[in-house]
A and B are shown apart, each in its own frame.
Chain A
Amino acid sequence: MSLLELRGVTGGYGPVSVLRGIDLVVEEGEVAVILGANGAGKTTTLRAICGMLDDTAGEVLFDGRDLCGASTPEIARAGIAHVPQGRGTFGDLTVDENLRLGAISRPDPGTEADLARWYEAFPRLAERKDQAAGSMSGGEQQMLAIARAMMGRPRLLLLDEPSLGLAPLITRDVFERLGEINREEGLTMLVVEQNAGLALEIAARGYVLETGQIVIGGTAEELALDDDVRKAYLGF
């Protein structure tokens, strides 16, 4: 059984329908990437999984359980963490408080140990522990958002354009960290990303989304070799 499977998922914002029947699977332990042009529905797909749309129909099977129609907090508690576009930082709270909020829905034991662990993994965050999260640089905030998601001990991590607004070197760093987390923790990830080259490096599976539908799906190698994908997203 796949960890995540979407079957015929539709949805949008109010009267505007964006998704026209999304089918995709993400297997336990792998990184899957969704590529697509602006407005194709990538962010909307992630929002549909998290119950953040006005009306979502179809099936969102997480570990066999249909989460379609569940509320966002329930979905988060089921084990899906979402790092939204723009990172969703609690800007006026401190770095430490941001991380503690990440763990707020799980039982207390282990929170302190996890905190120590992610401070060790991201020393910059430890240095800025008591600083307001909103005052950090974009790259630092992205690291914070990832660490915050990890504090909830998720089974699936959704990432929406982690490279947005970051310098190329920092983007590379972010993806290297994501790759590490995937390998070391065996954490399953679904990443929406414009930077197809980097994303496909850490991904096992990829999908291309166009006007609310999956038009190409396959392994990362297949996608990287696909002529259309290369022209449209890899630029060669």
Chain B
Amino acid sequence: MDLFLDQLANGVSSGVIYASVALSLVIIYRTTGLLNFAQGEMALFSACVTWWLTERGLGVWFALLISTALSFVAGALIERLLIRPVMRTGNQLNVVIVTLGMFLGINALAALLFIKPGLETPKMPGLFPTDEILGIEGKTLGLALLLALQCLVLWALLQRTKVGLALRGVASNPDSAALVGIHPGRMLMLGWGLAAALGAIAGTATASTAANGAFDTSLMQQVLVYAFAAAALGGFDSLLGAVVGGLIVGIANSLTIQYVDALAGIELVLPFGLILAVLLVRPNGLFGRTIVERV
């Protein structure tokens, strides 16, 4: 039983990280209608910035705060300078190629600036206490609280502010949004900024929960695959779906590793089989909206 609970906690920990990357993917998908393949590498770069700041003597939480803010600005600039000009060509596929290019480019840049061979491996200081709180590992509890905080801030921003309403308006109907006076471009920059900021939190959290906090340029690559799976499971247009999807993928994965010996080494099969099954029954994911519109 203890083993089961341990594995459950492990699943929740990784699920929380998948969920927060999936949230970023969903935000960009809803505002831009685009799958951002560079999301993981953006998070890696942000994690490198957090680490670099801690090396300069900043506390890890303060470093995370600054890196989140910087990532917000960087995300908005990426939309403005890289995505939008290509978007104007009217071919979505071109933009997907750009995000793939960013995947390679940002990864290489992180290696060049922060993770050079011969240099010491970056080690992210822990974000959370290592001892148990109320019988739950500090890491698990901390990650879950961090995700809850992200969701709360996102929810308040989207549901309770005018700018959030404008952002949802653009996601729902860009033409009509322009007709009520919203500048869609500004909202797209905001969407990318938010996604990058969430990525900074996800990247830093991922690195800090690795063994000794040591990480390299492959930090987010597997996470991104799981996050895509989580977003697909939850429904690509649902923030709630991203969270639930992330947790399901994380837990399913960790329980498979523990209990299904037949899949040793290919544990990925079970969560993805599960996702396939769900999508066959519900093509829009668990929480994705089937757009039904009467004319």
Residues in A lying within 8 Å of B, measured CB to CB = 50, 52, 71-73, 76-77, 81-82, 84, 86, 88-93, 97, 100-102, 104-105, 108, 134-138, 141, 148, 152, 165
CB pair B182 A92 closer than 8 Å: no
A105 partner, pick from B180, B294, B295, beta carbons under 8 A: B180
Q: Min CB distance, A65 to chain B, in Å?
A: 16
Binding site for A on B (CB under 8 A): 162, 165-166, 168-169, 172-173, 175-184, 289, 291-295
Given A76-B181, A100-B165, A137-B294, are A92 and B175 neighbors across the interface (CB < 8 Å)? no
Determine the distance from Cα of A133 to Cα of B291 in the docked complex, in whole angstroms.
11
Pairwise interchain contact A90-B172, C-beta atoms closer than 8 A: yes
What would be 5 A-B contacts, judged by CB atoms less than 8 Å apart?
A71-B183, A76-B179, A84-B175, A104-B180, A105-B182
Question: In the complex the two chains form, is B294's CB within 8 Å of A93's CB?
Answer: no
Q: A160 to chain B: closest CB distance in Å? A: 11
Q: Say yes or no: B165 contacts A104, CB within 8 Å.
A: yes
Q: Which residues of B contact A102 (CB under 8 A)?
A: 180
Q: Which single member of A73, A77, A135 contacts B292 (CB below 8 Å)?
A: A135
Task: Report A151 CB to chain B, min CB distance, Å.
Answer: 8
| Residue of A101, A108, A135, A136 touching B177 (CB-CB under 8 A) | A101
B295 touches A52 (CB 8 A): no
**Contact B181 A89, beta carbon cutoff 8 Å:** no
| Residue on A nearest B168 in the bound complex, by CB | A93
Indicate if the CB atoms of B176 and A88 lie closer than 8 Å: yes
Extra pairs beyond A72-B178, A91-B293, A97-B165 (14, CB < 8 Å): A71-B178, A73-B181, A73-B183, A84-B176, A89-B173, A89-B176, A93-B169, A101-B166, A101-B169, A101-B182, A102-B180, A105-B180, A134-B291, A148-B180
Within 8 Å CB of A135, what residues of B? 292, 294
When distances are taken between beta carbons in the complex, the residues of chain B under 8 Å from A86 are 295
Whose C-beta in chain B lies nearest to the C-beta of A145? B176
Residues of B within 8 A of A105 (CB): 180-182
Complex Cα spacing A141 to B173, Å:
15
In the bound assembly, the distance between CA atoms of A50 and B293 in angstroms comes to 25
Q: Are B176 and A104 in contact (CB-based, < 8 A)?
A: no
Q: Contact between B168 and A97 (Cβ–Cβ < 8 Å)?
A: yes
Contact residue among B165, B166, B177, B291 (Cβ-Cβ distance under 8 Å from A91): B291
Q: Knowing A135-B294, A137-B294 touch, does A92 contact B172 (C-beta < 8 A)?
A: yes
Knowing A73-B182, A102-B180, the reply to whether A90 touches B169 (Cβ < 8 A) is: yes
Q: Which residue of chain A has its CB nearest to the CB of B90?
A: A14
